[in-house]
């Protein structure tokens, strides 16, 4: 099976400042991968390049063999760090919008997730807390039958008690032939669901390894090894 994501010598400059420098990366199907690094490491730039929101200075990104564009937008379901949903609508309006806009959106799956999270589909977005708005956005993203889910800080805005439930929602509602790229600073909270991790610093790839290999080779948790590598 060919790689789902193939990144070759990817470089992004902002003026004279490099945000990414010669990144090479391949992501197969069927994996949950943590994209980990300190603030300013290049995580968000990498995500935006994969989603076609930025253009590379050099190198290439291929998603299922396609450069970022119309074809890849069908294949990627992207959860940005900041909510983009309008507060003037009800949740049911947003379900209709996603159903009209995305051929691979499953409204039944969305309603099931909303029900499991005890969120009323008829509620107005402006009446919801920040954390609940983020849950709604996650439900919409995970209700698409995508090949690649890119989730930028999906649990940062929710209370600790809800994080495990959110992670279970993510895991149980994606196609096992797809992959999830999950960027977060809450490493200890997500470690149990990860298959692989990517460490990135100063725009360069430091490590791409399975969680199992890190635990076996270094005798540490992912959070513990991250703290050692980044001295935090």
Tokens of 224: 């513990």
Return the pLDDT at 1.
53
Residues 17 and 127: their CA atoms lie apart, in Å, by 42
Return the pLDDT at 173.
72
**Number of CB atoms found within 10 A of residue 104's CB:** 14
The DSSP secondary structure of 33-76, one letter per residue, reads EEEE--TTSSHHHHHHHHTTSS--SEEEEEETTB-SSHHHHHHE
As assigned by CATH, the class of the 5-230 domain is alpha beta
The residues spanned by each domain of the chain are: 5-230
CB 63 within 8 A of CB 72: yes
Return the pLDDT at 88.
84
The DSSP secondary structure of 207-228, one letter per residue, reads EEEEHHHHHHHH-S-HHHHHHH
3-state class (DSSP) for residue 160: helix
- Give Cβ neighbours of residue 6 (< 8 Å, ≥ 6 apart): 25, 26, 60, 61, 62
Rounded to an integer, what is the distance from CA 62 to the centroid of its chain? 17
pTM recorded for the entire structure:
0.93
Return the pLDDT at 32.
94
Q: What does each of the 232 residues of the chain score in pLDDT, given as a tens digit?
A: 568 999 999 999 999 999 999 999 999 999 999 999 998 899 999 999 999 999 999 999 999 999 999 999 999 999 998 777 778 899 999 999 999 999 999 999 999 999 988 999 999 999 998 888 888 999 999 999 999 999 998 887 777 777 877 788 778 777 788 999 999 888 988 898 999 999 999 999 999 999 999 999 999 999 999 999 988 6
- Give Cβ neighbours of residue 199 (< 8 Å, ≥ 6 apart): 36, 37, 205, 206, 207, 208, 226, 229, 230
CB 143 within 8 A of CB 112: no
């Amino acid at each position: 099976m060919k790689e789902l994501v193939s990144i070759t010598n990817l470089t992004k400059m902002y003026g004279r400042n490099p945000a990414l420098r010669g990144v090479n990366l391949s992501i197969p199907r069927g994996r949950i991968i943590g994209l980990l690094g300190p603030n300013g490491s290049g995580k968000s730039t990498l995500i935006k390049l994969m989603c076609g929101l930025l253009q590379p200075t050099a190198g290439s990104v291929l998603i299922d063999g396609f450069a970022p564009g119309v074809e890849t937008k069908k294949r990627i379901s992207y959860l940005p760090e900041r909510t983009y949903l309008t507060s003037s609508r009800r949740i049911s309006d947003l379900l209709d919008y996603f159903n009209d806009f995305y051929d691979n959106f499953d409204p039944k799956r969305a309603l099931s997730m909303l029900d499991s999270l005890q969120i009323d589909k008829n509620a107005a977005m402006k009446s919801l807390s920040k954390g609940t708005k983020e849950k709604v956005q996650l439900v919409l993203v995970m209700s698409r039958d995508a090949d690649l889910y890119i989730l930028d800080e999906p649990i940062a805005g929710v209370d600790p008690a809800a994080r495990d439930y959110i992670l279970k929602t993510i895991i149980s509602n994606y196609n096992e032939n797809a992959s999830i790229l999950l960027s977060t600073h809450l490493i200890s909270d997500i470690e149990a669901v990860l298959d692989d991790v990517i460490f990135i610093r100063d725009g360069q790839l430091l490590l791409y390894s399975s969680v199992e290999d890190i635990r076996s080779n270094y005798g540490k948790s992912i959070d513990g090894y991250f703290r050692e590598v980044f001295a935090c």
